[in-house]
């Protein structure tokens, strides 16, 4: 915009409109934070968000990223080898591993990221205002931390991850693309 052609009154009016919009955004953000707290019903084992609340949060983040014109990315992590461990060491041992995985993931994300248990052996991370390349770097760090943990404890579990940045597709197609990327990553591993 070329503001040189605006009169002083028009500029003052525009500034006041921007202040009102900013005030509204701050109020909306406060409501978003309150709603976010209400959605924090955790998975009992991992203390992370459950899938229902994870998906509700993802919808809110997609809407927010659309309004702010910011990217949003998700990562899926899948762990294979639990059946063998379960058969040899039992449920409780697998539960300990899942708790460890949740703690490792949570300790390696930023405050703005949200981690949840997606399915039995899958976790999802929602990366707000984050490009696919930044999400990839964080995910690689998480994957290395998990693999190191398993190596130190002599646990035979395979970790596979995928990343997807939203590109205008529906929520279902966004998640499906991340799942397809995960399947491709498993095949290439």
pLDDT at 81 over 60: yes
pLDDT single digits (tens) 27-46: 777 676 656 555 556 667 78
Its pTM stands at 0.76
Q: Exposed (0-12), middle (13-18) or buried (19+): which is 105, by Cβ within 10 Å?
A: buried
pLDDT at 140: 94
Q: Between 142 and 40, where is the model more confident?
A: 142
Q: In Å, what is the CA distance from 177 to each residue of 146, 158, 160?
A: 24, 21, 15
| Spatial distance between the Cα atoms of 76 and 48, rounded to a whole number of angstroms | 14
| pLDDT band with cut points at 50, 70 and 90 for residue 17 | confident
pLDDT for residue 40: 54
User: What is the CATH number that goes with domain 39-188?
Assistant: 3.30.70.270
Answer with the residue of higher pLDDT: 98 or 155.
Answer: 98
Other beta carbons within 10 angstroms of residue 93's beta carbon come to: 14
The reported pLDDT for the residue numbered 1 is 55
Of residues 21 and 102, the one with the higher pLDDT is 102
The Cβ of residue 49 has, within 10 Å, a number of other Cβ atoms equal to: 25
Using the predicted structure, report yes or no on whether residue 114 has a pLDDT greater than 70.
yes
Among the residue ranges 47-51, 75-79, 151-155, the one predicted with the least confidence is 151-155
User: Is-contact 160 187, C-beta < 8 A?
Assistant: no
Phi, psi of 97 (to 5 degrees): -65, -45
| Mean pLDDT (the chain, rounded) | 87
DSSP state, 6? S
Predicted confidence at residue 178, as pLDDT, reads 96
Strand-pairing partners, residue 77, are 123, 161
């Amino acid at each position: 915009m070329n503001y040189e052609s605006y009169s002083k009154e028009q500029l003052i009016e525009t500034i006041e409109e921007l202040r009102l919009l900013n005030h509204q955004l701050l109020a909306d953000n406060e409501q978003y934070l309150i709603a976010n707290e209400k959605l924090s019903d955790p998975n009992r084992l991992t203390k992370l968000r459950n899938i229902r609340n994870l998906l509700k949060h993802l919808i809110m983040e997609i809407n927010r990223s659309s309004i702010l014109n910011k990217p949003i990315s998700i990562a899926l992590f899948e762990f294979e080898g639990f059946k063998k461990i379960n058969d040899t060491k039992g449920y409780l041992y697998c539960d300990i591993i899942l708790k460890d995985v949740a703690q490792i993931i949570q300790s390696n994300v930023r405050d703005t990221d949200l981690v949840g248990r997606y399915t039995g052996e899958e976790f999802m991370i929602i990366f707000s205002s984050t490009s696919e390349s930044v999400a990839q770097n964080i995910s690689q760090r998480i994957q290395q931390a998990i693999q190191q943990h398993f190596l130190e404890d002599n646990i035979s579990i395979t970790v596979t991850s995928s990343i997807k940045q939203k590109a205008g597709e529906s929520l279902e197609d966004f998640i499906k693309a991340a799942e397809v990327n995960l399947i491709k990553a498993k095949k290439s591993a």
